[in-house]
Amino acid sequence: MISETDLLAKVPTKLLIGGEWVPSTSGRAIEVHDPSTGLVIATIADASPEDGLEALAAASDAQKSWASTAPRKRGEILRGAFDLLQERADEFALLMTLEMGKPLAEARGEVTYGGEFLRWFSEEAVRISGRYGVNPEGTGRMIVTQLPVGPSYLITPWNFPLAMATRKISPALAAGCTAVVKPAELTPLTTLYFAQLLMDAGLPAGVLNVITTSTSGEVSEPIIADPRLRKLSFTGSTPVGRTLLKQASENVLRTSMELGGNAPFIVFEDADLDAAVDGAMLAKFRNIGQACTAANRFIVHESVADAFAARLVARVESLKVGRGTEDGVAIGPLINDKAVDKAAALVDDAVARGAVLETGGSRIEGSGSFYRPTVLSGVTAGSDILREEIFGPVVTIVPFTDEADAVAKANDTEYGLVSYVFTRDLARGQRLIETLETGMMGLNVGVVSNAAAPFGGMKQSGVGREGGLEGIHEYLETKYVLTPDPFA
Ligand code: NAP
């Protein structure tokens, strides 16, 4: 295994524009921290708005030749990147643990998950298809074809530094779009290292450009306003998504928005409780609770709520907390102290409103941003924690009386990303597929993400889908052509 110092020395620290690693014109730098220690692990370029427009210019210049590159060739470059990622899997996993804090085993899982988007879209690049047919009147021929949308701006969050990048980059490149990628300021290193991997896999200069910045708004606005940009794809919080949608409306840009969540996790009285607890541990504690898909509200039938809480508390108390590189650690740090403050405030508010603190409920003093895995039962309506994304290792249990009550509670949110349901009743499961207002659902499972599936939300959780057969269409325009009857 490579040492942390040797790995960090290999990661590019400049901006990738037109196939070259270039310094920022701002002359400023961003310090990247290890959230488990608070120490600086890298110093990288801090792009100015001018750098952002240079990156867009490079993407725009490369668009024509990339769009006309054979789909098979585009697919082979993505497949080559997938193979290289397997070779460098340990390095990418360690890098994510260092900049984001997740336990190494989970970081390895993200390399697998993130890599699957490269493989999936390497296979989809050659399946972009159209239609040809006689019009209903019989007077002409109708042709429907799919063309790349064009230069795309891809903005990613800090919580899944690799997978959120590959989930956008892979379909964009497969479709024949060039791109500018802007990772989060908190975790830019994985994207920089991944961009180098894509170049090593043979990606031509300018097809993918990377900017890192501490002034996201100032740098992004001119890019979004520029007529050369044709597509904006964003993953992040709903408030920032709203701002970007407004900006994108000026040029009527194509947009994909993967936004926040407030996932309900419903346990019915007939559920296999062991399976429900296993599912709950995954749905809640993966990524230290910092996932848009994290179960935010455990809605449990009143007859099993105590038993569910007791089993969960036993499991939660056995979780080892520490730096993600240490053996056996299941819970790393939160991304920063602000995130710890937020989790603490939400827990304190819930307790003040009558929730019972079953375990945890406090920050861990010392270096790093750690919060104890926590279980709250009997959380009362009106508590902030039921409305906001917790983004931390906190379980909230709310009892319900019957199916209608469970569905009403689950849907009582402006979000609609994912829901989880545990029941042995098939008909009930089928009813909930139709009554729960979420874009995805786990029926007796605690994780749904898969590169082959359309990931995305309803309501204020977003617009569009990433992955699956749907994912590449976010980067394709449909063109319809009518020609006269060639026999007339
Ligand atoms: P965030 O604060 O919304 O930031 C997301 C990205 O947007 C970052 O790269 C950020 O850059 C950038 N950004 C912030 N303000 C911007 C602006 N005015 N103009 C352009 N870019 C801007 O979200 P986050 O805290 O990184 O991520 C957590 C959120 O993402 C949660 O709400 C979570 O649910 C959501 N999420 C959703 C999905 C999904 O698929 N639905 C997946 C993962 C995460 P800087 O950080 O550099 O400012």
Span 114-135, pLDDT tens digits? 999 999 999 999 999 999 999 9
Task: Determine whether the shortest distance from the Cβ of 255 to ligand 1 is under 6 A.
Answer: no
Model pLDDT, residue 459: 98
pLDDT at 1: 84
Residues 214-242 have pLDDT tens digits of 999 999 999 999 999 999 999 999 999 99
The answer to whether residue 81 scores a pLDDT higher than 90 is yes
Protein residue closest via CA to atom 13 of ligand 1: 216
Whether residue 260 is predicted with pLDDT greater than 90 in this model: the reply is yes
Q: What is the enclosing helix (H) or strand (E) of 231?
A: strand 231-235
- Establish whether residue 153 lines the binding site of ligand 1, counting it when its CB lies within 6 angstroms of any ligand atom: no
In the block, which residue shows the tokens 């220690």? 37
∠ CA 229-235-239, rounded to 5°: 100
Alpha-carbon distances of 208 from 58, 190, 227, 233, 265, rounded to whole Å: 9, 15, 18, 14, 38
Whose CA is closest to atom 40 on ligand 1?
Answer: 258
What pLDDT shows up at residue 51?
98
Ligand 1 center from residue 237 Cα (angstroms): 5
Q: Is the beta carbon of 389 within 6 A of some atom in ligand 1?
A: yes
pLDDT surpasses 90 at 262: yes
How much is the pLDDT for 306? 98
Residue nearest to atom 11 of ligand 1 (CA): 184
* CA–CA distance, 466 with 282 (Å, rounded to integer): 22
Q: Is 220 in the pocket of ligand 1 (CB under 6 A)?
A: yes
pLDDT value of residue 444: 98
pLDDT of residue 347: 98
Distance from the CA of 474 to the center of ligand 1, in angstroms? Answer: 19
Query: CB neighbours of 360 closer than 8 A, spacing ≥ 6?
Result: 316, 371, 372, 373, 374, 375, 393, 394
Q: Probe ligand 1: pick from 117, 159, 214, max atoms within 8 Å of CB?
A: 159
Mean pLDDT of the chain: 98
- Give the dihedral sign, CA 306/310/315/320: positive
Is residue 292 within 6 Å of ligand 1 at its C-beta? yes
In angstroms, the Cα distances linking 31 to 35, 185, 188, 212, 213 are: 12, 9, 10, 11, 11
pLDDT band at 94 (very low <50, low <70, confident <90, very high): very high
Taking a C-beta distance cutoff of 8 angstroms, is the pair 443, 234 a contact? Answer: no
Catalytic residue IDs: 258, 292
pLDDT in tens, 156-212: 999 999 999 999 999 999 999 999 999 999 999 999 999 999 999 999 999 999 999
What is the reported pLDDT for 131?
A: 97
pTM: 0.98
Q: What is the pLDDT of residue 263?
A: 98
**Ligand 1 lined by 237 (C-beta under 6 Å):** yes
C-alpha neighbours within 13 Å on the C-beta side of residue 136: 0
Is the pLDDT score of 319 beyond 90?
Answer: yes
| Residue 261 beta carbon below 6 angstroms from any ligand 1 atom | yes
| Each residue's pLDDT tens digit, 453-480 | 999 999 999 999 999 999 999 999 999 9
Cα-to-centroid distance, 391 and ligand 1 (Å): 13
